[in-house]
């Protein structure tokens, strides 16, 4: 199709969208999200067919403005996010609390055991970490560092924020995807990460770096550790559906389980983003007094536990 014919065919739609955007009113359009997708398709066609620069620029600006109007100023979209945080996510936690308690035990018990062993015996850390890794780990919490947690300059907080997001969400995905192995992968990663964290904490306490390590982890720990447990619980939900599908086929049971598990993964991802931000910009600071870090960290734990326990509690049996 020639560009002139292409413009004549769709110019009315483009004009309607431009008028709606100018007035910030989409109610007069028939299915604005569908119209937005059509404009995206038109832009792709224009680029592929190498239409004129002015047309591509017009469509590109229209796509950007539609996206902004649809997602940035859409009360319905904002309401959906708020509804998920207030009801959807915590409701899923209460509906699947047996898996969450199991994930908590699989993560916490090995951690407590390894913390005790490494605290009593400094050589136990080498059962889960190599000698070089232990040296690197110890150097992260050297009291002489300008920033705790990583060997870095203070102007790389933003880069570390990206690193923490990648690292934390990678662990979360391992937990969730491990559920497809009949839950064994989720069990393994919960157990392993519990051992690793317990060993690290016990070793830091053993060698006397408590004033740098624990103030660092408490700031973001409420969000990060809770999210890890919840991701493991999501993997256990998937695994249990495969082990015991009940009256359904395994495919149908997996579909039902995934619907619940994905809510927990969405919520835990939000928690991991918060944790990454705190870890990069708050926990790593060596200038803040430890009493403030402990106080704020304790406050975060109260907030997270209170949110998980009280929010959505009365809505589980409504559906």
**Which pLDDT tens digit goes with each residue over 127-145?**
999 999 898 888 888 887 6
What long-range pairs does 119-124 form, CB within 8 A, spacing at least 24?
A: 119/202, 119/203, 119/205, 119/206, 120/206, 122/203, 122/206, 122/207, 124/199, 124/202, 124/203
The per-residue pLDDT for 288 is 85
pLDDT bucket at 280, cuts 50 / 70 / 90: confident
273 vs 147 pLDDT, higher one = 273
* Sign of torsion over alpha carbons 130, 135, 141, 147: negative
Q: How far apart are the first and last CA of the chain?
A: 52
Predicted confidence at residue 314, as pLDDT, reads 63
DSSP class of residue 156 equals G
- What is the model's pLDDT at position 64? 86
Instruction: At 147, give phi and psi (nearest 5°).
Output: -145, 135
> pLDDT-based confidence at 151, cuts 50/70/90?
very low
In this structure, what are the phi and psi dihedrals at residue 256, rounded to the nearest 5 degrees?
Answer: -65, -45
Q: In 10 A of CB 306, how many CB atoms?
A: 10
pLDDT value for 291 = 94
Please report the pLDDT score of residue 91 as a whole number: 93
CA dist 181 and 238 (Å) reads 9
Determine if residue 30 is left, alpha or beta; phi over 0 gives left, psi from -120 to 50 gives alpha, anything else beta. Answer: beta
Q: What is the pLDDT of residues 87-103, one digit of tens each?
A: 889 999 999 999 999 99
């Amino acid at each position: 199709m020639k560009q002139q014919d292409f413009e004549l065919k769709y110019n009315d739609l483009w004009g309607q969208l431009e008028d709606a955007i100018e007035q910030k009113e989409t109610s007069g359009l028939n299915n604005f999200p569908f119209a937005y997708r059509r404009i995206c398709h038109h832009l792709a066609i224009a680029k592929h067919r190498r239409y004129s620069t002015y047309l591509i620029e017009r469509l590109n600006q229209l796509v950007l403005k539609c996206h902004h109007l649809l997602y940035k100023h859409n009360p319905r979209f904002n309401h959906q996010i708020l509804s998920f945080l207030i009801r959807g996510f915590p409701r899923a936690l209460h509906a699947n609390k047996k898996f969450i308690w199991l994930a908590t035990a699989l993560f916490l018990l090995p951690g407590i055991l390894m913390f005790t062993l490494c605290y009593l015996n400094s050589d136990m850390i080498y059962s889960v970490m190599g000698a070089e890794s232990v040296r690197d780990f110890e150097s992260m919490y050297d009291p002489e560092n300008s920033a705790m947690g990583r060997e870095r300059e203070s102007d790389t907080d933003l880069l570390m924020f990206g690193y923490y997001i990648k690292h934390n969400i990678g662990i979360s995905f391992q937990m969730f995807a491990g559920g497809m192995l009949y839950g064994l992968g989720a069990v393994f990663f919960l157990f392993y990460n519990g051992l690793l964290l317990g060993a690290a904490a016990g070793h830091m306490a053993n060698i006397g770096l408590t004033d740098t390590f624990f103030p660092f982890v408490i700031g973001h720990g409420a969000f990060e550790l809770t999210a890890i447990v919840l991701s493991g619980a999501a993997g256990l939900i998937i695994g249990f559906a495969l082990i015991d599908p009940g009256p359904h086929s395994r495919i149908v049971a997996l579909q039902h389980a995934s619907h619940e598990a994905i809510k927990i993964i969405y919520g835990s991802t939000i928690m991991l983003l918060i944790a990454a931000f705190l870890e990069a910009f708050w926990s790593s600071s060596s200038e803040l007094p430890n009493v403030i870090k402990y106080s704020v960290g304790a406050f975060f734990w109260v907030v997270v536990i209170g949110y998980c326990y009280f929010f959505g509690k009365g809505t589980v049996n409504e559906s």
